[in-house]
Structure 1
Amino acid sequence: MQDGKQEQTEKGANRPRRDDVEKLLVGAIDLHCHSGPAAMPRILDHHEAMRDCAEAGFRALVYKDHFYLGTPHAIMLEKLVPNTGVRLFSGIALNNAVGGINPHAVNHATMIGAKIVWMPTLSAENHIAQTSGQAKTFPKTTQKMLEPIPLSALDASGKLSDDTRKVLDLIAEADIILAGGHLPAFELHLVFDEAKKRGVKKMMVNHPTYVVGCTDEDIRQMVSNGVFMEHSICMFVEGRSKKYGPDKLKHLIDIAGVDRTVLCSDLGLVGSPRPVDGYREIVATLLDLQVPEADIRKLIGGNAASLLNLDA
């Protein structure tokens, strides 16, 4: 009987924290959800991801796939399942499957409503070079695919390629997000410098401490150039992709500042939580770190809303 009373007391003590977490999730935005269908195994599909977000009161969800433009999926799913309160978006990752850093693919994507262009990820020369290092644990496709052709934003002379410049112009014209993908930090400095000159207003580094190789000083320099730092929740919550503890998360937020930091799930991976559950865990962590609620709302929703022009 005593054990039962203790269990009830513990549950009662945890309830306020659970309520605080659920309250903060209302209005959240995930800019980096890896739901399926996909060539890589996923634990949920686009519809399930949308339903999870709707139940938690999320404002928007961005589907990301390394091989295809997900914008048509987002448009049709939002139409077929109306009144969820969740806006659905996607974009294009410039890997081999879409012709690499391909202005024609980006032009088409922007014409049908893509909200983000990711520079090469798993086809990036930098990613391929690290397949025995940091990228060793990167998810594999269900079936073996053609060997990737290494991609870089630079030409043979070490300058930004003509196609990269054309892609930047298209992103600027559409006023959408330029994400760094898995390009190395030294390339990203060049890409973002040129992007800013060409009128790109929304720039973001994906998981700067994983594969990309950003130092604290890289982060400071890019933030001073107007770039957002996107940190993947999957690397800070329980599961096979966990790499860092709470102190590392707090450090990274402090380096870039709350106003230039975005927390996105990067979830959908086998062996890790569902995206919304990842958000629940990271919000609890932020509360444990005594991050103010107003800052938490910016980190998991407010900054992403501005990148998606939702408040325009």
Structure 2
Amino acid sequence: MLLMDTKNCLDVSKEWLAGAIDMHVHAAPDCASRKYTDAELARQYHQAGMGGFVSKCHHVDTSGRAAVIRELMPPQEAGIVYGSVVLNHSVGGLNPSAVMTCGRMGGKVVWFPTVDATNDAIYKRKHRNPALGQYNEQPSDQKKITILAEDGSLRPEVYPVLEAIRQQDLVLATGHLAPQESLVLISEAAAMGIQKLLVTHVSLPITKADAGLQQDFLDAGAWLEHCFYTPYYQLASWDEILASIHLAGSEHIILSTDFGQCQSPDPAEGLRQFAQELHRRGISGQEIRQMMVENPRGLLA
């Protein structure tokens, strides 16, 4: 776990994070314990001067509850909550109807399988680190999900999902697919005209992509996501994250927290700490604003 030296770290200007949107946050209600509800988090992001967050649940579509919170909470008290869906078994897996429903209810992000991805299961069987999130999984006899056929091409059932994402103009996030799976998916999606492409936490061990693959993702038009969760729990080094930022340039990076766990810092504070640590390591305020404010807003527009 990262220990912050609050006496020696530089103050991050509020101007850098004004309007920042955290693209990856876990909130209650959920099957796993979460630190705060969506409504509580909305207030926290607002109080921090930030723009809001994307509510992610591995097992249900959050777009409906995000819409209710936006209606009920006075604008002067809350940041914006954006809904999303993760294509795990609980929503039917690779289910285009789940995508269309999310979009029609105002959701913004579609993650491909996470805890039900074949890649996720294989990695966790070999590595028993509790920071990898085994507590997120639900008992199921269903086969884990891969998007590739034996010849390495996309399985036919993936294409209707991509078409639904394209029609609804949603953000496609790769979830916990293997990096090579993600590259095939991103390439096919780009060929179909999908422009909002996000490779989920490229520094997390489960989905880690080397520099060559990261360049391939960038060449296909994707953004690369780094979550504060990863260095905070010592699942990646700061050097790896800095190298990725320098490779891609700040215009192609999304910085989020992946927080919401009871043992983690409050998500809005985590985003501030993430900015703090990167600034201390040479990333400019302008670059931080690009990666935490401008890029997320562009994807969610």
TM-score, length of structure 1 as denominator length? 0.88
Aligned counterpart for 2:224 among listed residues 219, 223, 229: 229
Partner Cα separation in structure 1 for residue 128 and residue 13 of structure 2:
32
* 1:217 corresponds to: 212
Specify whether residues 152 and 280 from structure 1 end up closer, same or farther in structure 2 by C-alpha distance, changes over 3 A only: same
1:105 correspondence with 2:98: yes
Contact 2:196–2:299, Cα closer than 8 Å, also in 1:
yes
* Matching residue of 1:39: 31
Write the distance in 2 (CA, Å) between the matches of 1:227 and 1:65. Answer: 23
Greater RCO, CA 8 A, separation 6+: 2
Contact 1:21 1:280 in 2 (8 A): no
Determine which of 27, 48, 53 is the counterpart of 1:56: 48
- Report what 2:70 is aligned to: 78
Instruction: Give the AA of the match of 1:97.
Output: S
Distance 1:188 1:305, change over 3 A: same
Structure 2 Cα separation of the partners of residues 143 and 201 of structure 1: 30
Aligned to 2:170: 176
Aligned residues: 294
RMSD: 2.1
Quick one: which amino acid aligns to residue 161 of structure 2? V
Partner of 1:279: helix, strand, or coil? helix
SS, match of residue 50 in structure 1: helix
Could you tell me which amino acid in structure 2 is paired with residue 173 of structure 1?
A: Q
Q: Which amino acid aligns with 2:209?
A: C
| Match of residue 146 from structure 1 | 140
> What stretches of structure 1 of length at least 5 have no aligned partner?
1-10
Q: Which shifted more, 253-262 or 282-291? A: 282-291
Counterparts of 1:1-312 in structure 2, within 5 Å, are 17-18=10-11, 20-83=12-75, 84=77, 86-134=79-127, 136-137=129-130, 138-141=132-135, 145-210=139-204, 211-237=206-232, 241-309=233-301
Look up the SS of the partner of 1:226 in the other structure: coil
CA-CA distance at 1:104 after TM superposition? 1.6
Q: How far apart are 1:205 and its partner, in Å? A: 0.7
Please give the alpha-carbon distance, in whole angstroms, between the structure 1 residues aligned to 2:276 and 2:237.
Answer: 13
5+ residue gaps, structure 2, are 1-5
Please state how far the C-alpha of 1:139 moved relative to its aligned partner: 2.3
| Cα distance change, pair 86–267 in 1 and its aligned pair in 2 (3 A) | same
String of CA shifts for 1:84-142, please: whole Å, max 9, x gaps: 35221111100010111111211222222220110000000000111133574322448
Q: Paired residue for 1:6?
A: none
| Structure 1 contact 119–182 (Cα < 8 Å) conserved | yes
AA at the equivalent of 2:229: C
Q: Is the 8 A contact 1:68 1:98 kept in 2?
A: yes
Task: Judge conservation of contact 1:183–1:212 (CA < 8 Å) in 2.
Answer: yes
Kept after mapping to 1: 8 A contact 2:165/2:172: yes
Q: Report the alpha carbon displacement of residue 22 of structure 1 after superposing the two structures with TM.
A: 3.3
Q: Structure 2 vs 1, CA of residues 80 and 39 (structure 1 numbering), >3 Å: closer, same or farther? A: same
Q: Alignment partner of 1:30: what SS?
A: strand
SS of 2:83 mapped into structure 1: strand
Name which one, 1 or 2, has greater alpha-carbon Rg: 1
